[in-house]
Structure 1
Amino acid sequence: MNGGVCMTKPRLPAIEYIRGISMLGVIGIHIGSQYLGSPVPNANLTALYEIVTRFAVPIFFFISAFGIFYNMDPQKPFSYRSFIRRRAKAVLLPYMVWSLFYLYHDSILYHTGFPAIPYLADLLFFGNAKYHLYFLVILFWFYISMPLWYQILRKINPIGLVILFFLQVGFNYFSSYDMDFIIWTYSLEDSFFKSLLLYRLNYLPLHYAFVFLIGGYAAMHIDEFLRILKDHQLTVSLFSFGSIIALLHYYYSLMDGGYTQMDAINTAHQLSPQGIVYTLAASFFFFMIFTYQHYPSCLNPIFSLLGRHSYFAYLVHPLFIGHYTLYLENHGIILTASKSVLLYVVVLLSSILAAILCRKFGSMVPYFNLCTIGTKK
């Protein structure tokens, strides 16, 4: 296997900026989950929180793969051991630290007690210590299986990518919507095998293989990718606009058919055919927007700030959601539409401020940064 790290390629701000946008979307999804608990949630606001943001998790797999393969030189030797060591420091160490932190914190806040060792191992394996940490589990499985993705990207062509897209749609449709498979899974006796099936979305990278590979392919053909984005900006914009319209139409049509808002968002998700297309379109659209600056340049420092602190903000934001919503509950405050928007802003600002302060503290105590965001810088 070939492909070493190349340090001569120019920095692409779009990668950092998209990280920030992804973090904004993830917070929106989790605020939306809280808002759904209100007596009469507004379906349109729920759509903004839970449908428009559906690109947020899979687009990070796109830019993760892009970053890896963009900085890879196929002419230099690739050390899988060195790669895994670096990625374990960047992902696995923070994952373990934050998982244990949330388990200890929640055991005190909600009086649940710290889980016993066998159950703890199960929680850590499937990323269930907190509702957002499964993402790091999937990401690390992508890293573990890097030789597979590298070999695919060395040989695949545009026709192969089209075939892969349809295979992805078929696999995700079976995993998410095949009722015979789902009923059979729940009918199994409790076992580790049943847990593997029940929590397949928490660790199995195959659900996001296409978006990961398309990110890697774009990086390996960066000149062609950027030329296409530049020459077809209107098409990319219309593709993005059309894809979100299609996903929203799916969401509203489900509710017209009798689905609750909760059932609708759990059906019109990022693994649906419409969701996969939306992720692809959003990935291209944001890369185009941030590369060719179709907005005031004065916004760049804001996008840079969000991107730089997106990792910590992503990891810490459930802490603030938990405490703020508990405060609302204890004071009998109903999370109305306007209050949910305010909650979103407060959680976002709290998360970014915490990220900035902790990053500064980590500059004095480098191992703090290492444990929380995987780097001493």
Structure 2
Amino acid sequence: MAKGQSVRKQDIVFLNIFFCFVVIFIHASSEIIEKMNHGQTMFWAILILSRLSGFVVQGFILLSGVKLFFKAGHMRYGKFYLSRLVSIVIPYVIWVVIYYLYFCYRNFYVFSWSELGHFLLFGDISAHFYFIVVLVQFYLLAPLWMLLFRRANPAVVLPVTLIISIMFGMGIGEAAQVIWPELEFSRWDLLFPRYMFYWTAGCMIGLYYREFQNYLREKWIVITAFFILCAALNAWYTVRCIGNGGPWADQMHTLYCISAILFFYMLAQLFTDGGAVFLRPLAGVDRASYSIYLVHCLVIFITNDILDMRGIVSLPQRYGIRLLCAYIGSVVLCLLWQCGKRQIAKIMQKN
């Protein structure tokens, strides 16, 4: 079997940047969805686009599995866990603390070590941090995935993990509380089985990357039609069920997420050969994508506070300013941070 580690990764560069920018759009658009009158066209356009953008966290989880299984041979787990501690966990802790201190400064919270500990554990100080909590669980179980997926048949393991993910989405936590009424845990959405299908799919893709690329190229018509159909159904269902969710909404969204990840992965193949030249100017953005993910919501919060202080109340005007600040501010700050880190590393090497 052709293994993924021999494949150039420009497609993953494209997806990293694309997913990161879509996440910014989702969070920058939340005020429109929460506050704009439902009779306005802008509300429905943003609502539908935001709903159709809701596959990117699942896409990030899938990409994390892909990159994990690019590695050949036996993994050095000590080095692996140290690298994840330095590159994933420590930045997460730093930014949770920064968010918390900012909210304390704005008088949303009164500083408490126990409250800060809660936010670090559950990632619920801001909407986007839960992804890191879920991802760390997958990383902690890396030896299990290496043992299981290198021996597993994709035709078996993918349907099984899809069923597990769907069951967690259908309220398995509530069912558990019926059996054990004393169970007070309510954050079932933070547990890794909820996203296990996307992680498993990523691991399988990483193992058989060349075959996966060939599949995307051969089935592009089917994948495109599947995506258009699922996107249309998801948009229609969002409009019809606004305000009450609707039955099977989670299952329909899962189907859409699968179709969207396949479709945009297929588009990313345009950057695997000659098209890679167009990504070279964005290499820094790719390296800074995790930092951008962590910081962008704080940029949005600060922008909203400044807009409030200046008395800007027009929702479309606030939206335009917020989008500009979220994209430009987050990217520029993180690129400067990346440059600063490189300069510090050079100085340390000289010394």
Q: Summarize the Cα distance change of 1:323–1:119 in structure 2 as closer, same or farther, 3 Å threshold.
A: closer
What residue number does 2:189 align with?
201
Deviations 1:279-300 (A, max 9, x none): 2222222222121359977753
1: CA distance, partners of 2:4 / 2:46: 43
After TM superposition, list the pairs within 5 Å mapping 1:115-264 onto structure 2.
115=112, 117-160=113-156, 161-175=158-172, 181=175, 194=184, 197-202=185-190, 204-255=191-242, 259=243, 263-264=244-245
What residue number does 1:363 align with?
342
1: CA distance, partners of 2:294 / 2:218: 37
Deviations 1:43-100 (A, max 9, x none): 4233245201101111000111101101x21xx3333333222211121111111111
- Counterpart among 254, 279, 286 of residue 257 in structure 2: 279
2: CA distance, partners of 1:230 / 1:13: 16
Q: Secondary structure at the match of 1:128?
A: coil
Q: Secondary structure at the match of 1:20?
A: helix
State the Cα distance separating 1:118 from its structure 2 match: 2.4
- Counterpart among 61, 82, 86 of residue 85 in structure 1: 82
Amino acid at match of 1:130: S
- Counterpart among 6, 11, 14 of residue 11 in structure 2: 14
What residue number does 1:35 align with?
32
Which is further off, 332-341 or 224-233?
A: 332-341
% identical aligned pairs: 20
After TM superposition, list the pairs within 5 Å mapping 1:46-85 onto structure 2.
46-70=46-70, 72-73=71-72, 76-85=73-82
2: CA distance, partners of 1:308 / 1:172: 32
- Counterpart among 274, 286, 294 of residue 307 in structure 1: 286
2: CA distance, partners of 1:302 / 1:337: 31
State the Cα distance separating 1:19 from its structure 2 match: 1.1
- Asked if the contact 1:239/1:281 (under 8 Å) is kept, the reply is yes
Please, what TM-score do these two structures have when normalized by structure 2?
A: 0.86
Deviations 1:198-233 (A, max 9, x none): 22223x111111001101101101121111111111
State the Cα distance separating 1:168 from its structure 2 match: 2.2
State the Cα distance separating 1:162 from its structure 2 match: 2.5
Amino acid at match of 1:329: D
Deviations 1:119-173 (A, max 9, x none): 2222211112333222111111110011222233123324312233233223322
Q: Summarize the Cα distance change of 1:111–1:122 in structure 2 as closer, same or farther, 3 Å threshold.
A: closer
Q: Secondary structure at the match of 1:88?
A: helix
What residue number does 1:3 align with?
none
What number of residue pairs does the alignment pair up? 339
- Asked if the contact 1:31/1:49 (under 8 Å) is kept, the reply is no
State the Cα distance separating 1:328 from its structure 2 match: 2.0
Q: Summarize the Cα distance change of 1:137–1:106 in structure 2 as closer, same or farther, 3 Å threshold.
A: same
Q: Summarize the Cα distance change of 1:291–1:92 in structure 2 as closer, same or farther, 3 Å threshold.
A: same
Deviations 1:234-278 (A, max 9, x none): 1111122222222212211213xxx2xxx549x95xxx2122222
Q: Secondary structure at the match of 2:6?
A: coil
Which is further off, 53-62 or 241-250?
A: 241-250
- Asked if the contact 2:4/2:206 (under 8 Å) is kept, the reply is no
Q: Summarize the Cα distance change of 1:222–1:136 in structure 2 as closer, same or farther, 3 Å threshold.
A: same
Q: Summarize the Cα distance change of 1:184–1:365 in structure 2 as closer, same or farther, 3 Å threshold.
A: farther
Which runs of 5 or more structure 2 residues have no equivalent in the other structure? 347-351
Deviations 1:317-343 (A, max 9, x none): 112111111122223323524542442
Which is further off, 48-57 or 38-47?
A: 38-47
- Asked if the contact 1:45/1:337 (under 8 Å) is kept, the reply is no
State the Cα distance separating 1:39 from its structure 2 match: 4.1
Amino acid at match of 2:211: E
Which is further off, 345-354 or 128-137?
A: 128-137
- Asked if the contact 1:100/1:129 (under 8 Å) is kept, the reply is no
2: CA distance, partners of 1:128 / 1:167: 24
Q: Secondary structure at the match of 1:365?
A: helix
RMSD, matched Cα: 3.1
- Asked if the contact 1:17/1:306 (under 8 Å) is kept, the reply is no
Q: Summarize the Cα distance change of 1:340–1:184 in structure 2 as closer, same or farther, 3 Å threshold.
A: farther
Which is further off, 206-215 or 143-152?
A: 143-152
2: CA distance, partners of 1:166 / 1:128: 27
Which is further off, 31-40 or 93-102?
A: 31-40
- Counterpart among 324, 333, 347 of residue 303 in structure 2: 324
Q: Summarize the Cα distance change of 1:344–1:302 in structure 2 as closer, same or farther, 3 Å threshold.
A: farther
Q: Summarize the Cα distance change of 1:8–1:322 in structure 2 as closer, same or farther, 3 Å threshold.
A: closer
What residue number does 2:44 align with?
44
